[in-house]
Amino acid sequence: MRYVLAVLVEDKPGVLVRVAGLFSRRGYNIESLAVGKTVEPMVSRMTIEVEADEKILEQIIKQLYKLINVLKVSNLTQEPSVDRELVLIKVSADVGNRAEIQQIVETFRAKIVDVALNSIIIEVTGNQEKIEAITMLLSQYTILEVVRTGKIAILRGSKTIK
């Protein structure tokens, strides 16, 4: 099953390598990883999506805690949370099909952020299902390139992870 972890880490050089290295070394599967600063100075937050069973997940969390620079690991999978991913999709497009594509984009409340003679770039923000759905629809045209940020997630309500 797929789990989403929020990992608070000290913002120090090498921390990302330590975390990523742990996953590869122990054979855990990272589906996505997104990292950025938090409001707390010197603290970064990683959102890590992993594919694992419950037992492995428990190990992943414990092993993460063994890293000295890891401050907190929260499992958001079962918690009410908002998750988003941002994707940029470059699609081959010309006058012939641009309008059609535009329609798909609007339906998904995505955005066209660049238009060129033979291509357009679409920006989509949303959860996994939305991204998969639009990607699926766009695949009837030629998708030239896709860039994804990886999932980020935050708890609903006033509860925070600190």
Partner 1 sequence: MKISGAQMVMEALKHENVDTIFGYPGGNVLNLYDMLYDTDIRHILSRHEQGAAHAADGYARATGKPGVVLATSGPGATNLVTGIAAAYMDSVPMVFITGQVAIPLIGTDAFQEVDITGITLPITKHNFLVKDVRELPTIIKQAFYLATTGRCGPVLIDIPKDVQQAVAEFRYPENVSIPGYNPTYNGHPGQISRGARAIARAKKPVIYAGGGVTNSGAYEELLQLAEQCGIPVTTTLMGLSAFPGNHPLALGMLGMHGTYWANMAVSNADMILAVGARFDERVTGDAKRFASKAKIVHIDIDPAEIGKNVQVDVPIVGDVKLVLTELLKKLGPSDTGPWLEKIAKWKEETPLSYSQDMNGEISPQFVIEKIYEKTQGKALIATEVGQHQMWTAQYYKFTRPRSLASSGGLGAMGYGFPASLGMQVGRPDELVFCIAGDGSFLMNSQELAMAVEYNIPVKVAIINNQCLGMVRQLQQFYCKGRYISVDLQQVPDFAKMAEAYGALGLRVEKPADVVPAIEEALAFSGPAVIDFRVMSNTNVFPMVPPNSQINKMIKGEQK
Which residues make up the interface to partner 1 (CB under 8 A)? 9-10, 13-14, 17-18, 21, 25, 55, 58-59, 62-63, 65-71
- Please, what is the minimum distance in Å from the beta carbon of residue 44 to partner 1? 12
Of the pair 58, 145, the CB lying nearest partner 1 is at 58
Beta strands in the chain (DSSP E): 2-10, 29-37, 43-51, 70-75, 81-92, 111-115, 119-126, 142-148, 152-155
- Please, what is the minimum distance in Å from the beta carbon of residue 46 to partner 1? 13
Of the pair 14, 157, the CB lying nearest partner 1 is at 14
Spatial CB neighbours of 85, under 8 Å, sequence gap ≥ 6: 32, 125, 126, 127, 128, 131, 148, 149, 150, 151, 152
- Beta 142-148 vs 70-75: how paired, if at all? unpaired
Q: How far apart are CA 84 and CA 149, in angstroms?
A: 9
Place of tokens 């050089």: 13
- Please, what is the minimum distance in Å from the beta carbon of residue 77 to partner 1? 19
CA angle 39, 42, 45 (to 5 degrees): 60
Of the pair 73, 120, the CB lying nearest partner 1 is at 73
SS3 state at 10: strand
- Please, what is the minimum distance in Å from the beta carbon of residue 22 to partner 1? 8
Of the pair 18, 90, the CB lying nearest partner 1 is at 18
Of the pair 55, 156, the CB lying nearest partner 1 is at 55
- Please, what is the minimum distance in Å from the beta carbon of residue 35 to partner 1? 16
SS3 state at 118: coil
